[in-house]
A and B are shown apart, each in its own frame.
Chain A
Amino acid sequence: MKVVIAGFGTVGQGIAEVIGMRQELFSKSFGQQVKIVGAFDSSTIVKNARGLDPVELVRRKASTGTVGTRKVDGGVKELIEEYDFDTLIETTPTNILDAEPGYTHIMAALGSGKNVITSNKGPLALRFRELSKAAARNKVQLRYEASVGGAMPVINLSRELLRGEEIFSLRGILNGTCNFILNRMKDEGLPFEQALREAQEMGIAERDPSYDIDGVDSACKLAILANAIFGKDVTYNDVIRTGIRNITEDAIALAGEQNKVIRLIGEINKDRLEVSPRMVPNGHPLAIGGTLNIVQLLTDLAGEVTVVGRGAGRMETASAILSDLLAILSEDRAKGR
């Protein structure tokens, strides 16, 4: 299988390395290699039909700041449409205003009969149906396990292993940064600003933290889950959203007196699509601390199913992309391609 990696930041580099590390698995299980035949970042591109060396790509990006030597001159769409490869791995930044550049990359690939694996939430949280229809129309796969919860395998679990279940509802913690902040406020009695600063110093929160603390990231993920698991047709803008910016020490203390903690919870059920701070009893799975992500599904036969995992990180996210890559290889084999 030939792949092209769009975006070569944390996740793009992670998946390049993992593809390098798993060649033996690809050969043993599928009798083929997975070759990276192209990669591009915001300014450069590199191509080689015979395959590029992942270690060399990562090394060059680290030392020069660019993945390629040639400039990308607006021709990415044509490249995707015309270049000979099977699967696009799309890892450019999430843009929640217009879904670009991810949307154009993904549509171009699907439209020219290439599978797409993406970790980019923007296109999925804003234009999910269009993308899935394009995939179906072109008889290719669009997979996005990495877009929600990093290494926590909730989408493939729900759509594949729990295929026979009726899933009534979902609740979960979808943002590790908020969870870390709320937990530090509780454990150390810190005010919000201080817990946030600590998270920024530790590299857990971004310099501009609004995407996390205002619940935008969680709402994007919730919209993706609602579309992917519950068959809804919603966007990020349909999610009712309250962040954690205004949670005070007093509020945390009052909840604590009742043996409860405050967590930013995403919830999907027949009448709700909402991200908001909630009081969770101590000892409840959703009272989890640290930066982990967790999702609880309520199903008709299996009852409650809970998944926990690392929501972000270079290798964690690459692991989710790898699972999608393997699913595509399996499907291709089943179809005798």
Chain B
Amino acid sequence: MKVNVDLRLKDIPGQLVGALEPISANDGNIRGVVHHHDDRVGGRIAVNVTFEVRSEHALNKILEVWRKREVDVAKIDSFFETFPIQYLIVGSIPTKELESITKALESMENVAFIEVRYTGSANSSSRAALVTGKASKKETIASLDQFFKQRSEKHDYILIRGLD
């Protein structure tokens, strides 16, 4: 999980080390630290830190230490890394097939969400359908590639993958 926080540190030596230490102590991986020397609020210095942690639990432990050490957290954004799902299929694709694809994808593990948009009437031989969404694991994209490849070969439609 990737986390981005805006911290407010007291302007005395050792504060930054004290703020970063719990991240490493909880197996976090610091990706960036930006000091905003000019941005002082109530005598505190603003520092923006980006880091990765393994779990929500680890993040909570870090937040707890900060509370104890009186490190103010002005803003926190956490997000899981996601991988875009992007497939366009073209050909004779009945609505039933689109429903079946949607169902299959929705039941797949690690598919965060999907959206299917399509054009053309159901009996047109050149219907285009765009499947977009997000997956939380890279391996999911590999399985989806396989899924769409087999499906398009079986039903004889053209598959256009996104460029990862």
Contact = CB atoms under 8 A, between A and B. Distances in A.
B44 interface: no
Contacts of A280: 163
Given A246-B126, A248-B90, A248-B128, A254 B117 contact: yes
Nearest to A251: B128
Interface stretch (B14-22, B73-81, B101-109, B154-162): B154-162
A102 B141 CA distance: 42
Interface residues of A, number: 23
Given A250-B127, A251-B88, A254-B130, A278 B120 contact: no
A251 B90 contact: yes
A277 B126 CA distance: 16
Interface in B84-108: 86, 88, 90-91
Contacts of B26: none
Interface in A68-124: none
B132 interface: yes
B60 interface: no
B160 A278 contact: yes
16 contacts: A246-B126, A248-B128, A250-B90, A250-B126, A251-B128, A251-B160, A254-B119, A254-B128, A254-B129, A260-B162, A262-B160, A279-B160, A279-B161, A279-B163, A284-B163, A286-B163
Contact of B119 (A247, A250, A258, A278): A250
A151 B91 CA distance: 36
Contacts of B130: 254-255, 257-258
Contact of A242 (B88, B126, B158, B162): B158
Contact of B88 (A171, A279, A286): A279
Contacts of B118: 254
Interface string A184-226: 0000000000000000000000000000000000000000000
The 5 closest A-B pairs by CB, nearest first: A250-B128, A251-B128, A250-B119, A254-B130, A248-B126
A247 B118 CA distance: 14
Interface in A260-290: 260, 262, 265, 276-281, 284, 286
Interface in A132-169: none
Interface string B115-127: 0011110000011
Contacts of B86: 258, 260, 279
A185 to B, nearest CB: 13
A240 to B, nearest CB: 9
B163 A277 contact: no
A169 B45 CA distance: 44
Contacts of A260: 86, 162
A250 B158 CA distance: 13
Contact of A246 (B158, B161, B162, B163): B158
B50 to A, nearest CB: 21
A125 B115 CA distance: 40
A1 interface: no
A276 B127 contact: no
A172 B159 CA distance: 18
A281 B164 CA distance: 10
Given A246-B91, A279-B86, A253 B119 contact: yes
A313 B106 CA distance: 49
Query: Residue among B88, B119, B128 with the most chain A CB within 10 A?
Result: B88
Contact of A278 (B117, B126, B132, B163): B163
Contacts of B128: 248, 250-251, 253-254
A135 B106 CA distance: 55
Contacts of B163: 171, 265, 278-281, 284, 286
